[in-house]
């Protein structure tokens, strides 16, 4: 039990000097066009939208806004490339192209990481150590499957679906592009992909890589734009499959639009995962897992551990440790190598988070925020805890998609399971205990696609990912991820 005067002090003291990643090794064009049929082409409408740096609110570039006519052009290019080239190519040859993309991406990793942090606000430590290496790893992994598909599905004849329309979110821009494009290409499909409107730049850099890799024209087409462009892709009759990652709200609209069509789809949607800490857990390491679970990527993670369920006998101790750890989290310039929490992706998202902070207070939750000093400009949010919350509170039920953790306690194993499962979502979960048997029981009983034991937010191309209930349909990654891009004939 801590006495009030016993408090560790983390503020002041030895200050780390700024350690910014340099930007002189990158080039961002003033304007980006659409990438259709292997060429950079102007949008039919002549319209462009701005993409800004969320840490400074300064404009980085202007990006083409694709209209229905542009989407149509892209789908036609993809169809031609599919019918004439890509589906006819020897699978081993397809694999070579995908390997080439992976290698070029690795060579240009530093450039990709810097641009990802500039455009999206995530700390350079994460884009450098996680996003970009994982994106390259996905291309490497699926390149290997290209000529081995029969072995993945013994006794079946795997056939590509055709043209895949893919719509990806702003939280992991390049990584989500890799999750979508790599398996689609490996299975022999061609692609029309739309990056999110707040983070289009690394996708446009990827277009350069794809061009450099000599991929046949039309195999990958990148169309930039907002929701309307996404809807044009979903509704286009020439599309055979839709792969969407984003909010449950938009996922529902897409599912309705696709009902009764021949298009197949995978949807990777929201989450409100429980991170469950038992009294016998390695508490200091569990606290590290809580921090990685909710403050990784500013909490803009669909599988974030946004609910903490902690066994009551260690609740005070865990919260004390968590608050001390939060005091050491550095919020600020995403390009600084010592930044732990970067900028919130957009003003709109910051407003959503602030709305929930208000709701939490109105619901009677106790709010704790670290003493971090926020930059004057840009979109930033302090790491936040809500304690004293109930299952019926909106901050416990709804996805906030920010660095905000709702803390609840439990007494028994069954109570933990009941609370963990009492959500419309089912994307991920975390269990912290020193007992192996408890881990196995937990993983059986929690209804979620991914459950981490004594760790959190770990990703690997070989591991399938996807949700139960309103967290989505289908699986991405691993062998399961191939299934979503194939028709299996007897």
Partner 1 sequence: MSSASVSRLPGATRLPDLSRVPAVDEVGVNERVARFQSRSIKAKAKIEGLKLTLSMIDLTTLEGQDTPGKVQQLCQKAIHLHDSMPGLPHVAAVCVYPTMVSVAKDALEGHDINIASVATAFPSGMSSLDIKLNDTRIAVDAGANEIDMVISRGAFLAGDYQLVFDEIVAVKEACGDAHLKVILETGELGTLDRVRRASVLAMHAGADFIKTSTGKIHPAATMQVTLTMLQAITDFYYETGRMVGMKPAGGISSAKLALHYLVMLQETLGNAWMTPEWFRFGASSLANDVLMQLKKQETGVYQSPDYFSKD
Residue ranges binding partner 1 (CB under 8 A): 1-3, 5-6, 8-19, 125, 129, 280-286, 288-289, 320, 324, 327-328, 337-338, 434, 454-455
Q: Can 268 be counted among the known catalytic residues? A: yes
Structure tokens at 444: 């059986």
CB of 338 to partner 1, least distance (A): 6
Catalytic annotation, pick one of 187, 302, 303, 381: 302
CB of 76 to partner 1, least distance (A): 47
Closest CB to partner 1 among 221 and 457?
457
Closest CB to partner 1 among 17 and 259?
17
- How far apart (Å, rounded) are the C-alpha atoms in residues 396 and 387? 10
**In angstroms, what is the C-alpha Rg of the chain?**
23
Alpha-carbon separation of residue 105 from 58, 79, 108, 186, 202 (angstroms): 27, 26, 5, 17, 11
CB of 383 to partner 1, least distance (A): 15
Q: Can 302 be counted among the known catalytic residues? A: yes
Closest CB to partner 1 among 100 and 382?
382
Closest CB to partner 1 among 12 and 260?
12
CB of 315 to partner 1, least distance (A): 14
CB of 9 to partner 1, least distance (A): 5
Closest CB to partner 1 among 282 and 359?
282
Catalytic annotation, pick one of 21, 268, 399, 470: 268
- Residues acting as catalytic residues: 268, 302
């Amino acid at each position: 039990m801590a006495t009030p005067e016993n408090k560790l002090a983390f503020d002041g003291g030895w200050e780390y000097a700024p350690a910014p990643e340099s930007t002189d090794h990158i080039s961002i064009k003033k304007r980006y066009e659409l990438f259709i049929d292997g060429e950079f082409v102007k949008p039919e409408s002549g319209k462009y939208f701005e993409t800004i740096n969320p840490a400074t609110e300064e404009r980085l570039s202007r990006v083409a806004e694709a209209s229905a006519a542009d989407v149509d052009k892209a789908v036609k290019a993809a169809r031609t490339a599919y019918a004439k080239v890509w589906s006819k190519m020897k699978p081993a040859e397809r694999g070579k192209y995908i390997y080439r993309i992976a290698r070029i991406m690795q060579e240009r990793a530093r450039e990709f990481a810097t641009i990802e942090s500039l455009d999206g606000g995530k700390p350079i430590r994460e884009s450098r150590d996680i996003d970009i290496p994982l994106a390259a790893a996905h291309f490497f992994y699926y390149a290997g499957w290209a000529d081995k598909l029969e072995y993945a599905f013994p006794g079946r004849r795997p056939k590509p679906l055709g043209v895949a329309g893919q719509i990806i979110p702003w939280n992991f821009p390049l990584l989500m592009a890799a999750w979508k494009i790599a398996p689609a290409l490996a299975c022999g499909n061609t692609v029309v992909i739309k990056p999110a409107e707040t983070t289009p730049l690394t996708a446009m850099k990827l277009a350069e890589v794809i061009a450099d890799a000599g991929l046949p024209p039309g195999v990958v087409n990148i169309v930039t734009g907002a929701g309307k462009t996404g809807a044009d892709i979903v509704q286009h009759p020439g599309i055979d499959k839709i792969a969407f990652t984003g909010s449950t709200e938009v996922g529902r609209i897409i599912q309705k639009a696709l009902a009764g069509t021949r298009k197949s789809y995978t949807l990777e949607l929201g989450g409100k995962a429980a991170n469950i800490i038992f009294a016998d857990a390695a508490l200091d390491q569990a606290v590290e897992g809580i921090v990685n679970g909710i403050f990784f990527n500013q909490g803009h993670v669909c599988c974030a551990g946004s609910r903490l369920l902690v066994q009551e006998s260690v609740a005070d101790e865990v919260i004390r440790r968590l608050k001390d750890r939060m005091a050491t989290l550095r919020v600020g310039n995403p390009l600084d190598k010592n930044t732990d929490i970067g900028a919130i992706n957009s003003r709109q998202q910051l407003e959503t988070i602030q709305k929930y902070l208000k709701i939490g207070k109105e619901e009677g939750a106790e709010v704790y925020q670290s003493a971090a000093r926020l930059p004057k400009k840009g979109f930033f949010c302090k790491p936040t805890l809500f304690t004293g919350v109930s299952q019926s509170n909106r901050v416990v039920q709804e996805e906030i998609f920010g660095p905000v953790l709702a803390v609840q306690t439990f007494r028994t194993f069954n109570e933990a399971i009941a609370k963990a499962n009492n959500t419309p979502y089912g994307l991920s979960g975390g269990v912290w205990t020193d007992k192996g048997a408890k881990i196995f029981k937990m993983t059986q009983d929690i209804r979620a696609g991914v459950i981490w034991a004594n760790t959190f937010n770990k990703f690997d191309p070989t591991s399938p990912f996807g949700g139960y209930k309103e967290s989505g349909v289908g699986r991405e990654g691993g062998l399961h991820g191939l299934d979503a891009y194939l028709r299996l004939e007897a």
